[in-house]
Amino acid sequence: MHLSSPDLFFSNKKNVENDFQISLQCNDLPIIFSPCRINYCQVCVCLAGNAEIEVDLRSFHFVPNDIILVFPGQILACNEKSSDFSLTYFSFFNLLIDDILYRFPTAFIGFLKENVKYHLPETEKDRMITEYFAALHSKFHDTENVCRSEIILNLLHNFYLDLYSKVIARNEIHTRQRKRKKELQEEFFRLVKIHPENREVGFYAEKLCITPKYLSIITKDSTGTSAKELIDKFAITELKLQLKSTTMPLKKIAAQLNYPCEAFLCKYFKKHTGTTPSHYRNVSK
């Protein structure tokens, strides 16, 4: 049979130039600003040094052989890093996310979102970088390969299949009995993220059908922080996101996020950060 065109079998609908990024060595967390609400899947492996990072306001000490996995909608921040910090990473967006992750059980994706960071044995880290990161990097730059998009897609899918196999082998999903407190804490975090305009403990306690006191007990036990402190931290993070990612006037931000007025927003922000919103917006990213 005569093959008139490679497009007979492989479509060009997936634009890897726009939907995929990779670096074998990077000296900073690959985000536009910190904190940043991401709209892609990202996998990072620490190669050297260390960093203090946050994912959805949970703090992690990121050291060599650690791997972190983050998903669209999560808030990622790098608060501090050593001078010798470096990592390797890949990110993928849009159509690739659906193609790669749609067949996995939701419990698996939920498990990865909940755990975020893992420490890899040296040999496993080396194998992962060789089999996936180096292979992806090579294929991404092999622009003459007519099957480049499909090979990259398959490598990404195989990475998550490999990870899924390890999680299932350890029985880490099905043997974990999710206690009521853990479920309430996760739902509280979800609600705070989607209701940045409300900063009252009572509002969230009512949504969870528990008392404000019990909500604070749950958060204090699991995070060492009261419910009110966590709400304020989420609120400040949301303000930082608005200030860094938009040019919206402070008055409009205040109205959108349900602050009584611009002056109140400024006072609230300075109380929790030590600086004014205008100064924070204008400093170099």
Q: Which tens digit of pLDDT belongs to each residue from 187-206?
A: 898 899 889 899 999 999 99
pLDDT above 80 (res 4): no
pLDDT band at residue 182 using 50, 70 and 90 as cut-offs? confident
Whole-number CA gyration radius for the chain: 21
**Order of all β-strands in the sheet with 20-26:** 20-26, 86-92, 41-48, 66-70, 117-119
33 token code pair: 């600003």
Which structural domains are found in the chain, ordered by start? Answer: 12-169 (2.60.120.280), 180-282 (1.10.10.60)
Strands 36-37 and 41-48: unpaired
The strand pairing partners of 55, in sequence order, are 58, 76
CA distances from residue 56 to 77, 131, 183, 282 in whole angstroms, order as listed: 9, 30, 16, 24
186-219 exposure pattern, b = at least 16 Cβ within 10 A, e = fewer: eebbebbbeebebbebebbbeebebebeebbebb
Q: Report phi then psi at 165, rounded to 5.
A: -60, -40
**Residue 125 contacts residue 65 (beta carbons within 8 Å):** yes
The pLDDT tens digits of the residues spanning 244-265 come to 888 899 999 999 999 999 999 9
| Residue of 40, 39, 41, 36 whose CA lies nearest to 55 | 36
